[in-house]
Structures are given as structure tokens and as C-alpha cells.
Amino acid sequence: MEGIVGILAMIVSSSLVYSAPLIFTALGGTFSERSGIVNVGLEGIMTIGAFSAAVFNLNTVHIFGAATPWVAMIFGGLVGMLFSLIHAVATINLRADHIVSGTVINLMAPGLTVFLTKQLFDGKGQTEIIRQRFGKFSFPILKDIPVLGDIFFKNTSAPAYVAILVAILAYFIIFKTKFGLRLRSVGENPQAADTLGVNVYAMKYAGVLISGLLGGIGGAIVVQAISGQFSVSTIAGQGFISMAAMIFGKWNPIGVMGAAIFFGVSQSLAIIGKQIPFLASLPEVYLQAAPYVLTIIVLVVFIGKSQGPKAGGKTYIKSK
């Protein structure tokens, strides 16, 4: 019994660690796509967020102490937001193809961040090690619940629980507020929304910038909870997985969160698989490739023709 609880606790906490950045970033993608802007640049936005959070953390740890990771996380989000402005201007005002612009973001981010890393850290391709990380968190009171407390609330990932709260919040914003209704209407039928007095461009900007904020936060969590330092391989596919989670979750924040947790579990199994008795003998390639293969299967079997926002990927031209 002890052993099983221990293994479960390890799986759950490690899954949550890997889920947190995916939840944030996938929610970001949801906001962007709900406004009709396809954002394949999430990967690049995460890279920028991770880099800036790492640098911020290393330079301000003497000021913020234990709160550093959280402040750095917000900072990473803000820089991600700034970076996503490129995508917003290109796609909304300059009528660039959404995929081309997103790809530019993905090509630009690793080059720029490694360039800056080398400049800031004496020509080295990675930052120094971050000492003040998110670490492990135990909920007071809840952690004392027998069994469940051990599995879910002791030595676990605080950012993951924040992410889950943000997902619930995002659900209310998108489906229960005026802003959310407008955001969705712009993604479905911008002409109609425009006729009714909705500022289409402002809504689209809001969607993309929120995706920049949340994607940057996602990257900041990766670097401060998982990798511990920034290098070019810190963000290796998490942005794309988040995109998949967004589609798997059908652009609904709660569903997106569930899908992100699902991918988080499969990512973490690839890492901790060696410590789990019945998985240890499996060649690691199966667990490593699993999230990606599962995404394809899920898309084909459960989603089919993607039912994203109707006007997704199209540039809205007011005078048309």
C-alpha cells in the first residue's frame, strides 16, 4: 500500500510539473484562436518567456528572495506579450499569412535568445543555473488528508494549481462575459461582429496578446520548474504540444486544461518511466514519441475536421 501511494504521488506530482506550462500556453492559444488568429508561434513565445524569466530570476533573486520565481514568471509573461505583438501586427494589420508569421516567431526566438544568452553570459550557449526555483509545495491542512493528501497535496507543483485556477477563470471569461462573447464573435464572423459595433481589431489584438502573456508564463515555468537553466533546448516542442492540447480540448478552456494534463502525464512518464516498475523495461522511445503519436490519433479519431472558430486563419479586411 505504502509503495503504491508513493508511486502514485510521484506520478501525480511529476505530471503536474509538466502539465503546468502546457496548460498556460494552451489556454493562451485558445484566446488567440477564439479571436480568429492562428498562433503556431507559441513555441517561440515560450522560448522568449523562458529566456527572460531565467535572466530576470538570476539578476533579481537577491531582491525578491523566495518570491523570485513568481515575479520572474510574470516578467516572462510580459516579455512574451511584447513579442507576440509582432505576430499581432503582422497578421491583423499587415495581412501576413498566420502560419508564415507564426513560423517567423518560431525561427526568430531561438536565434535571438541564444544570441542574447551568449552576449550576457560570456559567449556560453546557456545561462547560469537558477537556484531559486518553484520547488515543491505542500498545501496546509489538505496535505494531512490520508492517502489523497499524500498523492495530490504534498510536495507538489504550485504553478500547476494556479494553472488550473486560470483555466477555470478563462472558461468564465470566454463563455460568461461580454468580452468573451465579443472575442468569440470576432473569431466566428468578424463582419457580423463589426456591424454590431464590436471593435474587431481590438478584440484580435487582445486575443494574441493574451496568448503572448500566457505562453510567456508557460515558458517561464518550464525554465524555473523543470530545466533549471535556459539553453536552446529548454523549449523543445512544448509549444506545439500546447497547440495540440488546444485542439484536443476543442478550444474550450476546461477541455484544453484536461488535454494539457493528459499530455503532461505522458511527457512526465517519458522522464520518470525508469522508476515505475511496469514501465522500466519499455524502450524509452515509446514514451518519448507517445504524446505526439497520441495527438495524431486523437485528431484523426475524435476530432476529424477541426471545428475551430470559423474565421480562424483569415485576415479580416474591414472595407470588404
Cell 477555470 belongs to which residue?
168
Stretch that binds other proteins, among 15-23, 162-170, 220-228, 286-294 (CB under 8 A): 286-294
As measured in angstroms, the least distance from the Cβ of 33 to other proteins is 12
Q: Which positions from 216 to 235 touch other proteins by CB under 8 A, shown as an x/- string? A: ----------------xx--
Instruction: Give the chain's length.
Output: 320
Among 7, 71, 116, 254, binds other proteins (CB under 8 A): 116
CA distance 217 to 269: 23
Q: Is 295 in the site for other proteins (CB under 8 A)?
A: yes
From the list 267, 210, 211, the residue with the least C-alpha distance to 235 is 267
As measured in angstroms, the least distance from the Cβ of 237 to other proteins is 5
Q: Which positions from 49 to 88 touch other proteins by CB under 8 A, shown as an x/- string? A: -------------------------------------x--
Among 64, 126, 299, 314, binds other proteins (CB under 8 A): 299
* Footprint of other proteins on 191-210 (CB under 8 A): none
As measured in angstroms, the least distance from the Cβ of 298 to other proteins is 10
Q: Is 46 in the site for other proteins (CB under 8 A)?
A: no
Strand partners, 226: none
Task: Considering the complex, state which of residue 106 and residue 156 has its C-beta at the smaller distance from other proteins.
Answer: 106
> What are 251's three cell numbers?
478550444
Stretch that binds other proteins, among 108-116, 159-167, 202-210, 212-220 (CB under 8 A): 108-116
Angle made by CA atoms 134, 139, 145, in degrees to the nearest 5: 140
Among 4, 94, 147, 169, binds other proteins (CB under 8 A): 94
Among 3, 119, 278, 318, binds other proteins (CB under 8 A): 119
Backbone angles phi, psi at 306, to 5 degrees: -65, 130
**Residue 304: other Cβ atoms inside 10 A:** 8
Task: Considering the complex, state which of residue 39 and residue 68 has its C-beta at the smaller distance from other proteins.
Answer: 39
Among 191, 192, 303, 310, binds other proteins (CB under 8 A): 303
As measured in angstroms, the least distance from the Cβ of 67 to other proteins is 30
CA distance 98 to 81: 17
CA dihedral 181, 182, 185, 189 (to 10 degrees): 170
| Residue 271 DSSP one-character state | H
Cell 497535496 belongs to which residue?
153
Beta-carbon contacts of 265 under 8 Å, excluding residues fewer than 6 positions away, are: 11, 15, 18, 19
Task: Considering the complex, state which of residue 12 and residue 88 has its C-beta at the smaller distance from other proteins.
Answer: 88
From the list 189, 183, 191, the residue with the least C-alpha distance to 318 is 191
As measured in angstroms, the least distance from the Cβ of 108 to other proteins is 4
From the list 199, 43, 226, the residue with the least C-alpha distance to 130 is 226
3-class secondary-structure state, position 156 = strand
Chain positions contacting other proteins, by CB under 8 A: 40, 86, 90, 94-97, 99-101, 103-104, 106-108, 110-112, 114-116, 118-119, 123, 232-233, 236-237, 240, 243-244, 247, 283-285, 288-289, 292-293, 295-296, 299-300, 303-306
